[in-house]
């Protein structure tokens, strides 16, 4: 009886402790709500608006003339080929689909690139451009310890966050001149030259996001020379090959120039915009090396880094890109389609300027047509952006960046009229 009473007492004591413990497991009470992504906020406001004339100029994805997502015909054909081949769904290797990696490097660097021919390059498939940048940042944190990453001001919002999360300090170099809505080349070169020797310099290969402002060929040459003189390590973010000018070769000119100048660069590629494969998350990360042995060593360390991060990349999107780039007919069709997308954006820039003049705007809007790629830094103030939203149902980020892909022949004049109105007397 005594033993039973003790047992019952212990059970009750244990239940009491369990109850006490259970009431003290509110682990996440200290977690505060984080701020919304500013671009996501644009889409949320747009979706809530019931006006039939509303325009969303915040979305970072291509839209066709009817404002709809666009699936490339070459992608549809590649998809059919993959389906008919009855392929399996086994894991890809840690580095991804080997044939895709080879084709991705060739697309960016050219088939005659010595690094590719001499196997002095390590390429891994990544989770689109963001994933490539994260691999880069984590790799640099391990093997370029103590280095600071320099990014343009302004730059894509994720750049700072990715490097900071990897433990790499981030500083900025001058890039954009608000007075001219163009490149501040003097500030850019001065800041890069003043950066400590051996710094990490991030450059947008083409179609700078968010400004749409790119250096000229002569300016790129000077930037390359400064980086060599200072012993900087160059990282290219290459998210828009073919999508900027309509020519994959022209858009790769800066990357290839740096390689020819002797830089063993790192390269982050995305196939979201130029192949329309946004949701497939297809990208690649490459490091150029001095020897083939170094390339093997780098690849081995990249695999060690990737394994606990996401283990293996998805195969479907990589197979689509591979199927297109290894087939001459599909490659030519892709070139035609990516040029078509680029040309539509270039045409919308021209139409916007034409209608701004038609509706009496006396401002100099020439930067709209000299900038390149999906995005344009309009020069609109936050107050003018607010007026566009409140009075005209036109939504964009408060820094004045618009996605040209959101403009089409049915809304371009309405947009121009609204922009002319909010900038009048300013």
Catalytic residue, chosen from 138, 191, 214, 237, is: 237
Catalytic residue, chosen from 77, 138, 273, 365, is: 273
DSSP state of 63: B
SS3 content of the chain, % helix, strand, coil (to 5): 50, 15, 40
Residue 16 annotated as catalytic: no
The β-bridge partners of 354 are: none
For residue 96, say whether it is annotated as part of any ligand binding site. Answer: no
For residue 398, say whether it is annotated as part of any ligand binding site. Answer: no
Give CA separation, 303 vs 183, 247, 319, in Å.
Answer: 38, 33, 20
Q: Helix/strand/coil (H, E, C) string of 242-284?
A: CCCCCCHHHHCHHHHHHHHCCCCCEEEEECCCCCCCHHHCEEE
For residue 156, say whether it is annotated as part of any ligand binding site. Answer: yes
Catalytic residue, chosen from 77, 138, 156, 251, is: 156
What SS3 class is residue 150?
A: strand
Q: Read off the tokens for 245.
A: 């000018």
For residue 26, say whether it is annotated as part of any ligand binding site. Answer: no
- Nearest CA to 151 out of 202, 209, 115, 195 is that of 202
Residue 156 annotated as catalytic: yes
As a whole number of angstroms, the distance between CA 215 and CA 95 comes to 33
Residue 303 annotated as catalytic: no
As a whole number of angstroms, the distance between CA 96 and CA 79 comes to 19
The residues annotated with a catalytic role in the active site are 156, 237, 273
Annotated binding site for substrate: 60, 156, 209, 401
Annotated binding site: 60, 156, 209, 401
């Amino acid at each position: 009886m005594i033993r039973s009473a003790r047992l019952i007492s212990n059970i009750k004591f244990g239940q009491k402790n369990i109850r006490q413990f259970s009431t003290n497991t509110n682990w996440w009470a200290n977690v505060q709500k984080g701020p919304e992504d500013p671009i996501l906020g644009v889409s949320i406001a747009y979706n809530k608006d019931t006006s039939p004339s509303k325009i969303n100029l915040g979305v970072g994805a291509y839209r066709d003339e009817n404002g709809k997502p666009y699936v490339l015909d070459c992608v549809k054909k590649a998809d059919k080929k993959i389906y008919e081949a009855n392929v399996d769904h086994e894991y890809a290797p840690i580095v991804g689909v080997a044939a895709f990696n080879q084709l991705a490097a060739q697309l960016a660097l050219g088939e005659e690139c010595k690094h590719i021919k001499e196997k002095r390059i390590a390429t891994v498939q990544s989770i689109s451009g963001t994933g490539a940048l994260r691999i880069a940042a984590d790799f640099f944190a391990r093997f370029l310890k103590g280095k600071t990453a320099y990014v343009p001001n302004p730059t894509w919002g994720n750049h700072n966050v990715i490097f900071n999360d990897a433990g790499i300090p981030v500083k900025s170099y001058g890039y954009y001149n608000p007075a001219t809505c163009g490149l501040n080349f003097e500030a850019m070169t001065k800041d890069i030259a003043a950066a400590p020797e051996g710094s990490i310099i991030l450059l947008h290969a083409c179609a700078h996001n968010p400004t749409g402002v790119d250096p000229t060929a002569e300016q790129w040459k000077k930037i390359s020379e400064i980086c060599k003189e200072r012993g900087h390590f160059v990282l290219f973010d290459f998210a828009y090959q073919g999508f900027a000018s309509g020519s994959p070769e022209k858009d790769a000119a800066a990357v290839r120039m740096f390689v020819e100048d002797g830089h063993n660069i790192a390269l982050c590629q995305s196939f979201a915009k130029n192949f329309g494969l946004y949701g497939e998350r297809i990208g690649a990360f490459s490091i150029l090396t001095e020897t083939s042995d170094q390339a093997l060593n780098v690849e081995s360390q990249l695999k060690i880094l990737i394994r606990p991060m996401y283990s293996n990349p998805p195969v479907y999107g990589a197979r689509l890109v591979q199927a297109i780039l290894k087939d001459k007919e599909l490659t030519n069709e892709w070139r035609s389609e990516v040029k078509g997308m680029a040309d539509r954006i270039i045409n919308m820039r021209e139409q916007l300027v034409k209608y701004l003049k038609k509706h009496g705007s006396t401002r100099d809007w020439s930067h709209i047509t000299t900038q390149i790629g999906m995005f344009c830094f309009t020069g609109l103030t936050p107050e003018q952006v607010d007026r566009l939203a409140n009075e005209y149902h036109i939504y964009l980020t408060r820094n004045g960046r618009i996605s040209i892909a959101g403009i089409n022949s049915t809304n371009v004049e309405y947009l121009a009229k609204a922009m002319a109105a909010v900038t009048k007397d300013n």
